[in-house]
A and B are shown apart, each in its own frame.
Chain A
Amino acid sequence: MNDKVLMRGTHIIGETAVRSGCRFYAGYPITPQNELTEYMAGAIAKLKDGTFIQAESEIAAVNMVIGASMAGARAMTSSSSPGISLKQEGISFLAAQELPAVIVNSMRGGPGLGNIAPTQGDYFQATRGGGHGDYRCIVLAPAYSQELADITRRAFEYADRFTTPVMILIDGMMGQMMEPVVFPEPIDPRELPPKSWVLDGAKGRPSRIIKSLILDVVKEEEHNWKLYRKYENIKKEIQEAETYLTEDAKLVVIAYGTAARIAKGAIKRVRDIGLKVGLLRPLSLWPFPRRILDDTSRFVKEFLVYEMNTGQMVEDVELALKRSSEIHFYGRPGGIVSTPDEIAKVITSLYYRRHLEED
């Protein structure tokens, strides 16, 4: 059964979610991610133990996910940038109440309603919590269709393991693009490990209370430190990035998602004319893969951050490298997708400033 199939990105996420034991999906339409909602409607209808709801709003959908998660379901919602803004209150509640859930954001042009073209404008929102309060979301950024499947499976695992919301950050292009994919084996949600947080009747056990209203400041402080310790633990555990041709590189491009694929195409071009350029592609955006960046910066002193925005991840790169290296930035916001040729020109002009003489 595990043949390669050609499928669009949104459908890959949906199929993998169902195979990962997701039995609850609530969503509200917005382009460019409607094909995921469409797919979940069809896939969950085929299950005996699943629930699909087209909610009356994004806010309702995320609150339904909170309820499903409290009841022990692997639950997912999805939207695109403006819709994700609406869901932030619910995501903050998920984090506060330490509930697992998977949220997919197919980023589009912004701010405001913007457009439906692919961008990376929501990096700050995704990696800095997004909603109110002192919390973080695990944020995973796939770039290949196979990775969409692998990351969706991991997202549900991380969510349960750390009892926290996990965001999958893609864009409309990745959602529409088709590539061959091999799906992971299906999981029966009844065979997942017991969940310590579920509200399913307190017969034979002490009662559980899930809430986020903690008026006692001492208790709220302790709760915040508890979350902090969890996030520190997550930072130790999750550091995901791909490095490509960095061993001998004099310049390394840092990019994620769609931008990383375009950058890789550009690197292939400049390698062909002898430029020693590599790629570092973060897969986990939070936690930011600082350890991998540290390792790379021991032998590379010049970086180019390329994003489909005006410069957001570049701040994490600056924090991680602490002035040990020179950092350049190139960005195209608003939904412009650069071609590999365009990025190759940027790389080439930077590279020759420094390396023409010595090579």
Chain B
Amino acid sequence: MKKTVFAGFGGQGVLMMGYLFAVAAMKDGKEVTYLPSYGAEMRGGTANCTVVVSDEEIFSPVASSPDYTVIMNKPSLIKYENLIKAGGTIFFNSSLIDYHLIRDDVVLEKIPANEIARQLGSERTVNMIMLGAFVAKTGLTSLESIMNSLQETVKGKKTAVMKLNRKGLDMGAGFVLKELRNEND
């Protein structure tokens, strides 16, 4: 059972990342729960969602201590640094967040997502870049499953938009995989 928290400002596509991941995992045949934060949320406020993926029945959709976090803003990074499981991985958008972790028992995955998005020519792909990196590193689902889930979710979107999203996923995935290769060299 793996618990992941996606967190950031409202409008950054945080809930969308979690939703696409949850649908993809469901299509892979996994048990899954998707729990969005709700409250007096608005654009610019904080938003987060918890996605649990498991081969067995999922009891609590709430994460005491997540295995993974995908973080899009600094307040969320500070909050989830305290909560994440020892040995867990924090994926964070290093283009937006300048922060040095206090804990040394977690893995850090810094993704310069806005810089990558600028190479792609669309800053709106930032969340797909983060998601691509997350999926490539964790292997909790595949990029193909994410694309299928995206196609189902945003039915009727132009092919160009879908292609851009696909590129975003691939660039995010490519970034962490290249890092992995460099480490192994």
Contact = CB atoms under 8 A, between A and B. Distances in A.
Nearest to B1: A268
Nearest to A264: B59
A177 B33 contact: yes
Contacts of A180: 26, 31-32
B61 A177 contact: yes
B36 interface: yes
Interface centre among B59, B62, B65 (most CB of A within 10 A): B59
Nearest to A145: B33
B60 A265 contact: yes
Given A177-B35, A179-B33, A341 B26 contact: no
Contacts of B35: 173, 176-178
B38 A340 contact: no
Interface in B49-77: 58-65
Interface in B110-142: none
B62 A337 contact: yes
A contact face: mostly helix, strand, loop, or mixed = helix
Interface residues of A, number: 24
Contacts of A100: none
Contacts, number: 63
A117 interface: yes
B34 A179 contact: yes
Contacts of A261: 59-61
A130 B65 CA distance: 39
B23 interface: yes
Contacts of B33: 177-179
B22 A262 contact: no
A90 interface: no
B39 A117 contact: yes
Interface in A171-215: 172-173, 176-180
A72 interface: no
11 contacts: A176-B38, A178-B33, A179-B32, A179-B33, A180-B31, A264-B59, A266-B60, A267-B59, A268-B59, A339-B63, A340-B60
8 pairs of A and B residues whose beta carbons are closest in the complex: A265-B60, A339-B64, A264-B59, A265-B59, A341-B64, A178-B34, A340-B60, A177-B35
